[in-house]
Amino acid sequence: MLFPTTIAGSLPKPGWLAEPERLWPEWRLAGPELREAQCDATRIALFEQERAGIDLVTDGEQSRRHFVHGFAGALDGVDLAKIARRGIRDNRYDADCPTIVGDVRRTTPVHADEMHFAREATRRRLKITIPGPMTIVDTLNDDYYRDRKKAAFAFARAIREEIEDLVALGIDAVQIDEPAFNVYFDEVEDWGVAALDACIEGVRCETIVHVCYGYGVDANVKWKTKLGEEWDQYAHIFPFLAQSKIDVVSMEMAGSHVPPRVLGLLGEKKAAVGVIDVATDRVETSEEVAATIELARQYLPDERIMCSTNCGMAPMRRDVAYAKLRALGAGARLAEAFVSHAPGFQIGTR
Ligand code: ZN
């Protein structure tokens, strides 16, 4: 099959589980009731992806409140209660950040319960998303290592241990989320890609790195307006990712100012091309999705193109997010139909 589909990771949570249309919502329930509701929400997230024809599914991150704190906070050495506000992603926005207070160690599985549940609940290929070392370090205060590289490698070890356990549970793919790669180019070159490789050293599943321009929230939308007519961030980092051990690079494309030619910098890697814009509630048509795939085809052979959303859909309206899932699935199949019926066919851009 050409152009297999996946999502960046998160889907909106139902209103009975958490506050709707919030990035870091409060849970509506607690204790065993909360766990049961998270499982039910996971069933819905999987069902909606299956219904939309998504090939590599996630649990929609229905059991996580915050995509970094959820993983990092479960490790020894990170104090979730010791919070200090600071500017993150090179001061793009302020965030309340937990603190590294000691040696970072993974003493217990973090996402095993929810992945075990998701594995039993779907026969599709299943992906877990985990924040990457640089993004974790950029989202915490560090009172212990006081050295971003050192701290990053400590988290990389914990991530690798977690992935190994999840692969044993039957997951098919892991996606390391590194939005910070789009901000700190020098660190990507110095140690970011090495830390990424340390996360996946020896793991036996498909490996993906997701580098994006963030959720469709105000601070990011504002930041994007300052990036000019052509966004050159990927051009700085793709040559280094091309040298990494990762299998797939997940990147933003739809509705952005990312020049498609950056795909030509990925060497032999596959790309999970963002064909769904998460910064707008307007739902793409299948033809628009197919047209974005056609742009990617100018720089990559068909067998190295996957399709995804630009980023997570956690803060979106549920009906919009589910409609976008269906546009993703239908658009990829439309593009495949065009290509297989007429190999030289150009879908065209409009
Ligand atoms: Zn993202």
- CB contact set of 120 (below 8 Å; sequence gap of 6+): none
Classify 235 as helix, strand or coil.
Answer: helix
Tell me, yes or no, whether 10 lies in a domain. no
Contact 211/249 with Cβ under 8 angstroms?
yes
Q: Which 3 state secondary structure label does DSSP give 278?
A: coil
Q: Encoding tokens for residue 185? A: 């180019």
Which range of residues forms the domain containing residue 122?
31-341
Q: In angstroms, rounded to a whole number, what is the distance separating the alpha carbons of residues 329 and 284?
A: 11
The amino acid sitting at 242 is A
Mean pLDDT value of segment 288-311: 97
Ligand 1: distance of its center to the CA of 148 in Å?
Answer: 21
Q: How many structural domains compose the chain?
A: 1
If we measure between CA atoms, which residue out of 255, 219, 212, 270 comes closest to residue 237? Answer: 212
- The backbone torsions φ and ψ at residue 260, rounded to the nearest 5 degrees and listed phi first, read -55, -25
**Residue 313 CA, ligand 1 centroid: distance in Å:** 9
| CA 342 / ligand 1 centre spacing (Å) | 34
Query: In this predicted model, what pLDDT tens digit does every residue of 11-26 receive, in sequence order?
Result: 999 999 999 888 889 9
In a domain, 223, yes or no: yes
b/e map of 119-136 (b: 16 or more CB within 10 Å)?
A: bebbebbbbbbbbbbbbb
Does residue 349 fall inside a structural domain?
no
Task: Measure 123 CA to ligand 1 centroid, in angstroms.
Answer: 25
For residue 178, the CA-to-ligand 1 centroid distance in Å is 8
251 CA distance to ligand 1 centroid (A)? 8
**Would you say the pTM of this structure is higher than 0.75?**
yes
Mean pLDDT score across all residues of the chain: 95
Ligand 1 centre distance from Cα of residue 138 (Å): 15
β pairing state of 93-105 and 76-88? antiparallel
Q: Ligand 1 centroid vs 79 CA: distance in angstroms?
A: 25
- Residue at 4 is within a domain: no
274 Cα to the center of ligand 1, angstroms: 10
Cα-to-centroid distance, 9 and ligand 1 (Å): 8
Give distance in angstroms: CA of 32 to centre of ligand 1: 30
Express each pLDDT in 144-160 by its tens digit. Answer: 999 999 999 999 999 99
CATH number at residue 272: 3.20.20.210
| HSE of 134, CA atoms in CB hemisphere, 13 A | 27
pLDDT digits 0-9 by tens, 181-238: 999 999 999 999 999 999 999 999 999 999 998 877 888 888 888 888 899 999 999 9
Instruction: Give the per-residue pLDDT at 217.
Output: 80
Query: Ligand 1 centre and the CA of 67: distance in Å?
Result: 10
CB-based neighbours (< 5 A) of ligand 1, an ion: 212, 311
* Spacing, Cα 312 to ligand 1 middle (Å): 6
15 assigned to some structural domain: no
- Give distance in angstroms: CA of 6 to centre of ligand 1: 13
Do the domain assignments include residue 21? no
In a domain, 17, yes or no: no
In a domain, 194, yes or no: yes
